[in-house]
């Protein structure tokens, strides 16, 4: 026999008893009948009975597992789990319970993102809207558990205990490397797909005849090694510069030399070259420069270049000796030279140190010998005219004899 039939029979029996007692002149009694909706939703304490007129009865609704108390009905009202009823007549009370279900919400992987609702308990039939929000560097992929689909916004109806898993995946960005010029070298790795936040180390490797110059595009710097953080799609360009080789030679080899600090230059570089003739030689011309007839000259590196400088050997004239005496005065010995001619010689003081220098036709000192007792010298004239060998600083100590011997090459 179910609970409702039993409660009805009890109420009828109690009503009969109350009526009999009342008829016999005793105190009035009233019947309190209770029920739960649904039956399995919970219980009421006390569950009912016969009470003397005006008795105050406190009723307590206790939900069963998986239910919550919702409200009172019948001769009671309100949403509190306790209700006080005055038994001044026959009473019937109903406790209404609502079925509830648990919702578990998870993110996979942890840290990949979040869902707008947390774990919770919901009334049966409740529609819960779930919105997945990826973390930086992730994207929403799909739902798992009690739901499925690829929309980041979905609705789940709570008709049972449910589990919702928001699955996120790393955002993938593309790294592209370019070369300028195309055959100038290579980049390792050349590019690819990488997870957001990954750090990719690129190395620029110049090809033969090139050097790495700098990075461009979504990168900068002049180091051949570059770290790229993949926080978006990236395009990186490695710039290489063409190199050319410059070689020089002298003809004859003993005729002189060429000033050259290095042998490899960037394309387009203008290199300054100066030929220096050896003693007894004079510059003649270049071969392979921008201006073969002048010295100094230039070479524009538009390709590998080979330059030769030619010298002409001069003929030494007879030695010219000059002797004299110093006693506190300055002596100037004129020497006539044409541009390109050499003069070579020796100065010797017999007794004391002297000062000696050579001045060009404009009076500028072009060779300073300093205070010497004996010194050798050589000089190539850059302009034509009278060069003066100047002897000085006897200080009046006493007579001092000198001998100057020189040879002109022409």
Residues 93 and 10 in one domain: yes
Same domain, 147 and 227: no
* pLDDT tens column, 260-294: 889 999 999 999 999 999 999 999 999 999 999 99
Domain total for the chain? 5
What's the mean per-residue pLDDT of the chain? Answer: 92
Categorize the per-residue pLDDT at 394 as very low, low, confident or very high, splitting at 50, 70 and 90: low
Strands 153-157 and 172-180: unpaired
Q: Of the candidates 45, 71, 99, which is a domain's last residue? A: 99
Question: Higher confidence at residue 198 or residue 3?
Answer: 198
Q: Is there a single domain that holds both residue 205 and residue 233?
A: yes
In angstroms and rounded to an integer, the radius of gyration of the C-alpha atoms of the chain is: 57
Q: What stretches of 42-146 adopt beta strand conformation (E)?
A: 42-45, 48-52, 55-63, 67-74, 82-87, 91-108, 113-115, 120-123, 127-134, 138-145
The pLDDT of residue 6 is 42
Please give the pLDDT value at position 235.
98
Residue % of the chain over a pLDDT of 90? 87
Place of tokens 């140190």: 353
Lowest mean pLDDT among 79-93, 253-267, 300-314, 384-398: 384-398
Range of the domain at 221: 174-238
In 3D space, the residue among 123, 122, 118 whose CA is nearest the CA of residue 166 turns out to be: 118
- In the numeric block, the tokens 């998986």 are attached to 66
Check if the beta carbon of residue 283 is closer than 8 Å to that of residue 273.
Answer: no
pLDDT surpasses 80 at 10:
no
275 plus 230 within the same structural domain? no
Q: Tell me: do 81 and 112 sit in the same domain.
A: no
Domain closes at, from 207, 238, 269: 238
| pLDDT score for 397 | 60
The structure tokens listed for 7 are 């409660």
Provide the β-strand partners of residue 406: 320, 345
Tokens of 382: 């850059």
Instruction: Please state, in angstroms and rounded to a whole number, the distance separating the CA atoms of residues 82 and 58.
Output: 7
Cα end-to-end distance, the chain, whole Å: 146
In the prediction, which pLDDT does 7 show? 44
Percent of the chain scoring above 70 in pLDDT = 93
pLDDT at 356: 95
pLDDT of residue 25: 58
Using left for φ > 0, alpha for ψ between -120 and 50, and beta otherwise, residue 133 falls in beta
Please check whether residues 90 and 105 belong to one and the same domain: no
86 plus 30 within the same structural domain: yes
């Amino acid at each position: 026999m179910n609970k409702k039939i039993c409660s009805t029979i009890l109420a009828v029996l109690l009503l009969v008893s109350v009526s009999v007692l009342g008829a016999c002149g005793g105190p009035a009694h009233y019947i309190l009948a209770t029920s739960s909706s649904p039956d399995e939703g919970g219980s009421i304490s006390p569950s009912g009975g016969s009470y003397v007129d005006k008795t105050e009865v406190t009723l307590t609704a206790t939900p069963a597992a998986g239910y919550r108390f919702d409200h009172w009905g019948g001769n009671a009202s309100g949403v509190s789990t306790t209700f006080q009823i005055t038994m001044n007549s026959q009473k019937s009370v109903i406790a209404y319970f609502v079925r509830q279900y648990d919702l578990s919400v998870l993110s996979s992987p942890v840290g990949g993102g979040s869902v707008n609702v947390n774990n919770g308990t919901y009334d049966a039939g409740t529609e819960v809207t779930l919105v997945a929000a990826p973390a930086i560097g992730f994207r929403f992929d799909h739902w798992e558990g009690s739901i499925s689909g690829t929309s980041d916004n979905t609705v789940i109806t709570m008709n049972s205990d449910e589990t919702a898993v928001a699955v996120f995946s790393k955002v993938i960005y593309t790294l592209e490397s370019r070369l300028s010029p195309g055959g100038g070298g290579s980049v390792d790795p050349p590019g690819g797909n990488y997870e957001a936040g990954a750090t990719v180390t690129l190395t620029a490797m110049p090809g033969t005849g090139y050097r790495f110059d700098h990075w461009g595009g979504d990168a900068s710097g002049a180091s051949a090694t570059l770290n790229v953080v993949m926080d978006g799609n990236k395009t990186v360009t490695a710039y290489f510069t063409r190199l050319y080789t410059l070689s020089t030679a002298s003809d004859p080899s003993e005729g002189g030399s060429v000033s050259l600090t290095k042998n490899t230059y960037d394309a387009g570089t203008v290199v300054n070259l100066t030929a220096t003739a050896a003693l007894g030689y004079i510059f003649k011309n270049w071969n392979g420069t921008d201006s073969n007839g002048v010295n100094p000259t230039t070479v524009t590196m538009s390709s590998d270049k080979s330059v030769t400088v030619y010298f002409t050997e001069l003929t030494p004239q007879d030695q010219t000796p000059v002797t004299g005496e110093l006693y506190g005065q300055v002596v100037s010995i004129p020497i006539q030279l044409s541009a390109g001619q050499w003069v070579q010689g020796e100065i010797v003081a017999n007794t004391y140190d002297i000062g000696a220098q050579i001045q060009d036709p404009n009076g500028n000192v072009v060779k300073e010998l300093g205070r010497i007792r004996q010194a050798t010298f050589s000089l190539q004239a850059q302009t034509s005219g009278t060069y003066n060998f100047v002897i000085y600083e006897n200080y009046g100590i006493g007579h001092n004899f000198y001998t100057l011997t020189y040879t002109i090459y022409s």
